[in-house]
Homo-oligomer: A and B are copies of this chain.
Amino acid sequence: MKIKIIVPITTKEFEESTREEVIKFASPGTEMSVEALQYGTASIESSYDEVLNGPGIIKMAEKAQTEGFDGVFIDCMGDPALDAVREKLEIPVVGPARASMIYAADLAHRFSVVTVLENVVVLVENIALLLGLRDKLASVRHVNIPVLALTDIKKLTETLIEESLRAIKEDGAHAIILGCTGMLGVADDLSQALKNNGYDIPVIYPVAVSIKYLETLISLKLKQSKKTYLSPSEKERNIWEVI
């Protein structure tokens, strides 16, 4: 099967590091194409960024379907433009926030998300609310590191451990979801650190979970409901002239 992974920002370094990362989780026979946006914002840390990058995400997703991909993964924890793409496409489309939350909901009584900045907290809470899982969300915490500074793995790991322990002790979390798909290469260390503190709980790594989930959907011929995500009716849409 062929999977399109949209890196919905313009920072080329993320395209490269994502490409190296996702290959680790591909099943035999899965081909993956990773591509960042041409126009848009350098990272996504607000609804403002999500809206600005929306048309680019749609354009790339539509192209992927035309080119014969079997599924699309929008690689950002805000699940930007997910509803719009699910409406337009006939192949399964996966967002990492929703994918991570449903897994966490089954594995734990309550879960917390540890994201990048305070700006993102309400966005994540709203995704849980729309998914029907608000009561399972113990808290959304943040490491206070912008996306583009996540490359400082040491600092990121330390802060993730700190905030995850707070989520467990103060907020009652029984599982932790990494709150940004740019938090690469830290899930195992976080998981081990929590175990060392006596907490044998799931650490959900959205990139890994999303790829496996999308593979499952494709292999079982499942996709988003077209009663929820109805195909947009035909009309004049001249946005493509300019973007």
**Contacts of A148 on B, CB cut-off 8 Å?**
235
A53 within 8 Å of B (CB atoms):
yes
Residue pair B103, A103 in contact (C-beta under 8 Å): no
A225 touches B109 (CB 8 A): yes
Q: Given A10-B238, A212-B219, A228-B109, A129–B131 Cβ distance below 8 Å? A: no
Smallest Cβ-Cβ distance to A95: which chain B residue: B106
Given A87-B47, A237-B42: A225 in contact with B27 (beta carbons within 8 A): no
| CB of A24 to closest CB in B, whole Å | 11
**What separation, in Å, do the CA atoms of A205 and B228 have in the docked complex?**
19
Instruction: Please report the total number of A residues contacting B with Cβ < 8 Å.
Output: 90
* A126 CB to nearest chain B CB (Å): 6
Which of these binds chain B: A64-72, A114-122, A158-166?
A114-122
Complex Cα distance, B55 from A119, in Å, reads 19
Contacts of A87 in B (CB 8 A): 46-48, 119
- Bound state CA distance, A243 and B91, in angstroms? 29
Interface string of A195-214 (1 = CB under 8 A from B): 00001111011001100110
A163 to B41 CA separation, bound complex (whole angstroms) = 39
Please list the residues of chain A having a beta carbon within 8 angstroms of any beta carbon in chain B: 10, 25, 27-28, 39-43, 45-58, 81, 83-84, 87-88, 98-99, 102-103, 105-110, 117-119, 122, 125-126, 129-136, 146, 148, 168, 174-175, 199-202, 204-205, 208-209, 212-213, 216-217, 219-220, 222-230, 232-233, 235-239, 241-243
Other A-B pairs beyond A47-B87, A202-B224, A213-B216, 16, CB < 8 Å: A42-B236, A43-B235, A48-B87, A51-B54, A55-B55, A105-B133, A107-B228, A108-B227, A130-B130, A134-B135, A146-B235, A202-B225, A209-B220, A212-B219, A212-B220, A242-B243
